[in-house]
Chains A and B, each alone.
Chain A
Amino acid sequence: MNSSLRLRAGLVSIVLLAAFLGVWHLATRSTAPVTTMSPEYAKLMGLTATQGKSAMPGPLDVGAKLWDHLKRPFYDNGPNDKGLGIQLGYSIARVGAGYLLAVLVAIPLGFLIGMSPLLSKALDPFIQVLKPISPLAWMPLALYTIKDSSISAIFVIFICSIWPMLLNTVFGVASVRREWINVARTLEVGTVRRAFTVILPAAAPTILTGMRISIGIAWLVIVAAEMLVGGTGIGYFVWNEWNNLSITNVIIAILLIGVVGMLLDQILARFTRMVTFPE
């Protein structure tokens, strides 16, 4: 039963994809030349103007271009033109750096806040105000104070991924079942040991859910941040191709951003499954 469901779902997915590509292909077919123009003039004009080619590329154009990129993902033609593999590498490295910093800060801090009702109440207003700020709103401030655009980008990742982790850690730590803590207390387990052997395993699923939300947000934000500061990364690639009005390359970048985002999410999802326990 289960496998047949999966088969049917797969089939529907393929049909949907085919329908989407078909509609896309039909919608972007070139029309006949709109006006007649002298050949001398036509030579100076683009295909959109001369052959009525749609400004939107079709799936075949995108496929061909994607193949081009996949064939040589790591070329390096100087500071402003690098292969997609390198650009993605830069983006992932930035996300990794900002995200790890956020983990290092958010989880210990979350533990502290979650274990102390006083701190929890005292810090709550600050967290509530800081949490909803769009990470990109920090960008000008970061650029101004840090005076380095690549560190600013990492800072933006840090600041956007810290909140979900922090809140989830606080929540997970605070809602560990009383009985478990009481049992530990009766057995005279020290605070540090209690934190690591009782609270941490109990709160781990919630914490990892927070980390999973964070990585998603971080990946969303890096693209926008790189479009702003430029230089390297997949966001810069989108901006550079947008500059050239190359919609084909922009679509390819969108596709890859989606795939990488999915992979990052899947990795965290796997970790979450590893620490989940049946109650």
Chain B
Amino acid sequence: MSTFDNPFDPDRNLRAGCACGQHRSALEHEQAESALRCEPIESEDKRYEGVVASAVMRAMFPQDMARRAFLKSVGASTALAALSQFFPLQTATEVFAQGGAPEKKDLKVGFIPITCATPIIMAAPLGFYSKHGLNVEVVKTAGWAVVRDKTINKEYDAAHMLAPMPLAISLGLGSNAIPFAVPAIENINGQGITLAMKHKDKRDPKSWKGLKFAIPFDYSMHNYLLRYYLAEHGIDPDTDVQLRSVPPPEMVANLRADNIDGFLAPDNICQRAIYDGVGFMHILSKEIWDGHPCCSFAASREFITTAPNSFAALTRAIVDATAYASKAENRKQIAEAIAPANYINAPVTVLEQVLTGTYADGLGGVKTDPKRVDFDPFPWQSFAVWMLTQMKRWGQIKGDVDYKAIAEQVYLATDTKKLMTEMGLSPPASAYKSFAVMGKTFDPAKPEDYLAGFKIRKAS
């Protein structure tokens, strides 16, 4: 059951029945939580109307009993008609959907042309930004360091960043320490390990000693996942193999030129290598950790405090777009919308294979995995804690780390939860969840114990 029940259903309890106050009972809350995080209602306007109508009904009939009696006696449609007559539901819905007037309407959002940025990009051609009263220009950017610098320089109001980057920037790793925040995760899964064709028979990672791998950036999930994967197979990523930071488009060219043996890269790059016949898909990143975050939508704290309404509208647009992208039936349309030169600039076939999950594996087979890439905006703070453990594991941060404080400062789960609730989506009750990476369970409450459990790590 979603939270968007009919408010005129006499049996529905509009008062809190569970932890988040959105469900009739705790059981229903659990169900909603375990279901898709953000199930969009058939029409967004309907959804807002539902939320507003609920509020109005609640105000008119504070007693559930009285409301039920009223609805039972007159019927839902009459009640709706009666309500609309003396309360401008339509106007209230519009006001609600817009939130406060944005302080700044013309915004610039930077992105890197990979499928992880799908919600940020598609929100422009599919009109999600304008729906939330913003005029957003999405600007393609040359690399992660440039995105970082341009966002710090305020050329961009917000940007597409790798999920660990806002943590790194806030901590002052690889740049000045500037407080950044993540109101939404872009995508989960959607990466892969691609190997050069000549390693067709070398599928066991234990035999990968001496190979050269490319990753997009030091502070990336790609780096941490590849290191994790290698270490689990007994390969020390610092001494046994070479890891190079290479901009994604150059990965395919380098693979063709035989400069690298493989890469863990964001998608459309993996699929592009296959499309061009230079590599094959060894595994999807989802096989390492199903549901791992990859990229995030980030903004500086300064922007959030100086233009809170713009920020809220922007987050709404992103959450909205992410919800839209999470639906399998929309994926084809999205692939076509983001393929032109103005956005990702890649062949539609490649993007379709990534987004729909029916793809050529490079070895002559066609595979199907609808969850190859998925979209879920909720910024789990446990994700941040996991990334911090890996940063520490590989020597990017030294000394004691206050995992929880940093995670909560950067990953704005509370604000996102509030926004999602306002939008009529069902956010999870807690910002921490436990998950398993290659079968090893991660408990966000005990990061140090988790860290101590790794045999291979950088000696510090």
Binding site for B on A (CB under 8 A): 35, 37-38, 40-41, 43-46, 48-49, 55, 77-81, 143-144, 147-149, 227-231, 236, 239-245
Residues of B within 8 A of A55 (CB): 256, 276
Within 8 A of A (CB), among B135-169: 137-142, 146, 149-150, 153-155
Contact between chains at A143 and B153 (CB < 8 Å): yes
Q: How far, in whole Å, are A37 and B364 apart by their CA atoms in the complex?
A: 7
Residues of A within 8 A of B174 (CB): none
Q: How far, in whole Å, are A44 and B365 apart by their CA atoms in the complex?
A: 10
Known: A229-B142, A231-B139, A240-B140. A80 touches B342 (CB 8 A): yes
CB distance from A127 to the nearest CB of B (A): 30
Of A77, A147, A229, the residue contacting B146 (CB under 8 A) is A229
CB distance from A139 to the nearest CB of B (A): 10
Contact between chains at B342 and A81 (CB < 8 Å): yes
Contact between chains at A49 and B277 (CB < 8 Å): yes
CB distance from B272 to the nearest CB of A (A): 7
Q: Which residue of A lies closest to B248 (CB)?
A: A243
Known: A77-B342, A81-B341, A243-B345. A230 touches B142 (CB 8 A): yes
User: Is B113 positioned at the interface, with any CB of A under 8 Å from its CB?
Assistant: yes
Of A41, A149, A241, A242, the residue contacting B360 (CB under 8 A) is A41
Contact between chains at B146 and A228 (CB < 8 Å): yes
Of A44, A49, A242, A243, the residue contacting B353 (CB under 8 A) is A44
Residues of B within 8 A of A229 (CB): 142, 146
Residues of A within 8 A of B150 (CB): 149
CB distance from B64 to the nearest CB of A (A): 51
9 nearest A-B residue pairs (beta carbon) = A49-B277, A81-B342, A44-B360, A81-B341, A147-B153, A230-B142, A46-B275, A78-B342, A243-B249
Residues of A within 8 A of B403 (CB): none
Within 8 A of A (CB), among B11-64: none
User: Is B4 positioned at the interface, with any CB of A under 8 Å from its CB?
Assistant: no
Residues of A within 8 A of B308 (CB): none
Residues of A within 8 A of B154 (CB): 147
User: Is B421 positioned at the interface, with any CB of A under 8 Å from its CB?
Assistant: no
User: Is B452 positioned at the interface, with any CB of A under 8 Å from its CB?
Assistant: no
A-B contacts, 6 of them at CB < 8 A, read: A41-B360, A80-B140, A148-B155, A149-B146, A245-B252, A245-B253
Extra A-B contacts (11), CB below 8 Å, given A143-B153, A240-B140? A41-B366, A44-B358, A44-B366, A45-B275, A46-B275, A46-B349, A48-B276, A80-B140, A147-B155, A230-B139, A243-B248
Within 8 A of A (CB), among B341-391: 341-343, 345-347, 349, 353, 358-360, 364-366
Q: How far, in whole Å, are A100 and B174 apart by their CA atoms in the complex?
A: 36
Contact between chains at B340 and A77 (CB < 8 Å): yes
User: Is B123 positioned at the interface, with any CB of A under 8 Å from its CB?
Assistant: no
Contact between chains at B276 and A245 (CB < 8 Å): yes
CB distance from A28 to the nearest CB of B (A): 15
Of B124, B149, B345, B359, the residue contacting A44 (CB under 8 A) is B359
Interface string of B268-307 (1 = CB under 8 A from A): 0000101111000000000000000000000000000000
Contact between chains at B253 and A45 (CB < 8 Å): no
Known: A147-B153, A148-B153. A45 touches B274 (CB 8 A): yes
CB distance from A141 to the nearest CB of B (A): 12
Residues of A within 8 A of B149 (CB): 143-144
CB distance from A241 to the nearest CB of B (A): 8
Q: How far, in whole Å, are A27 and B371 apart by their CA atoms in the complex?
A: 42
CB distance from B347 to the nearest CB of A (A): 7
CB distance from B249 to the nearest CB of A (A): 4
Q: Which residue of B lies closest to A228 (CB)?
A: B142
Within 8 A of A (CB), among B249-275: 249-250, 252-253, 256, 272, 274-275
Q: Which residue of A lies closest to B153 (CB)?
A: A147
Q: How far, in whole Å, are A22 and B275 apart by their CA atoms in the complex?
A: 29
Q: How far, in whole Å, are A75 and B460 apart by their CA atoms in the complex?
A: 56
Contact between chains at A46 and B137 (CB < 8 Å): no
Residues of A within 8 A of B340 (CB): 77, 81
CB distance from A213 to the nearest CB of B (A): 29
Q: How far, in whole Å, are A227 and B248 apart by their CA atoms in the complex?
A: 15
CB distance from B208 to the nearest CB of A (A): 25
Q: Which residue of A lies closest to B152 (CB)?
A: A147
Within 8 A of A (CB), among B47-102: none
Residues of A within 8 A of B346 (CB): 244
CB distance from B353 to the nearest CB of A (A): 6
Residues of B within 8 A of A227 (CB): 142
CB distance from A159 to the nearest CB of B (A): 19
Within 8 A of A (CB), among B435-449: none
Residues of A within 8 A of B137 (CB): 79
Q: Which residue of A lies closest to B345 (CB)?
A: A244
Known: A147-B153, A148-B155, A245-B252. A49 touches B341 (CB 8 A): no
Residues of B within 8 A of A148 (CB): 153, 155
Contact between chains at B139 and A79 (CB < 8 Å): yes
Known: A48-B277, A79-B138. A41 touches B365 (CB 8 A): yes
Q: Which residue of B lies closest to A143 (CB)?
A: B149
Q: Which residue of A lies closest to B350 (CB)?
A: A46
Residues of A within 8 A of B140 (CB): 79-80, 230, 240
Within 8 A of A (CB), among B226-259: 248-250, 252-253, 256
Residues of A within 8 A of B250 (CB): 242
Interface string of B298-321 (1 = CB under 8 A from A): 000000000000000000000000
Q: How far, in whole Å, are A230 and B150 apart by their CA atoms in the complex?
A: 11
Q: How far, in whole Å, are A144 and B145 apart by their CA atoms in the complex?
A: 12
Q: How far, in whole Å, are A92 and B49 apart by their CA atoms in the complex?
A: 53
Residues of B within 8 A of A35 (CB): 364
Of B141, B275, B366, the residue contacting A40 (CB under 8 A) is B366
Contact between chains at A245 and B342 (CB < 8 Å): no
Q: How far, in whole Å, are A231 and B142 apart by their CA atoms in the complex?
A: 9
Contact between chains at A45 and B360 (CB < 8 Å): yes
Of A43, A44, A144, A240, the residue contacting B341 (CB under 8 A) is A240
Q: How far, in whole Å, are A37 and B248 apart by their CA atoms in the complex?
A: 28
Q: How far, in whole Å, are A230 and B347 apart by their CA atoms in the complex?
A: 21
